[in-house]
Amino acid sequence: MTGSMTEHSLTIRPIADGEEAAVLALWQACGLTRPWNDAAQDLAFARGKPNSDVLVGLADGIIVASAMVGHDGHRGTMYYVGVDPALRGRGFGRHMVTAAEAWLKERGVWKVNLLVRTDNEGVLGFYDGLGYAAGSSVSIEKWIDPAKRGDRR
């Protein structure tokens, strides 16, 4: 995804300096944040790196959608894919996923892995409609920094 892309009144481009607060507010409004996870730290960590970035979708100059995208040199991932709840159903989420996939493809990544909570049926249905399917792998995890874990297991 080079430069910006306009689709159905949504302009998609990498986040710019000064837009962090708007993106964090969007993530809150979309229910994408968790108390045990520092979203501001995630945002700062992913911005403008060779293997990651945060894409924003703007409608009438206002940030209304986002997708954090990255890769490990082998597989791609998307996080914080969200659309302003008042603007859902207009295809903006689909356009954000398409832009994130294009960002990955430009970097030679051919597969995307997603983490979606098993009880999030709406999001599972959204990704199913875009051709995503559950794989045969199981996600296992370990908190290597116990201080970040809090009371989560």
pLDDT (tens digit per residue) in 91-134 = 999 999 999 999 999 999 999 999 888 888 989 999 999 999 99
pLDDT, average across residues 129-142: 90
Q: Is residue 44 helix, strand or coil?
A: helix
- Cα dist from 24 to 41, 43, 46, whole Å: 10, 8, 13
**pLDDT confidence band for 10 (50 / 70 / 90):** very high
pLDDT tens by residue, 71-86: 998 899 999 999 999 9
% pLDDT > 70, the chain: 92
**pLDDT confidence band for 2 (50 / 70 / 90):** very low
**Enclosing H/E stretch for 21:** helix 20-29
pLDDT, average across residues 47-55: 94
Instruction: Output the average pLDDT for the chain.
Output: 90
Q: How far apart are CA 119 and CA 108, in angstroms?
A: 32
pTM attached to this predicted model: 0.88
Contact (CB, 8 A) for 45 and 60 = no
Residue 1 has pLDDT above 50, yes or no: no
pLDDT, average across residues 29-34: 93
Domains of the chain and any CATH numbers: 5-132 (3.40.630.30)
Q: Which position has the higher pLDDT, 140 or 95?
A: 95
Q: Is residue 64 helix, strand or coil?
A: strand
Burial pattern 115-126, b for ≥16 Cβ within 10 A else e, equals eeeeeeeeebeb
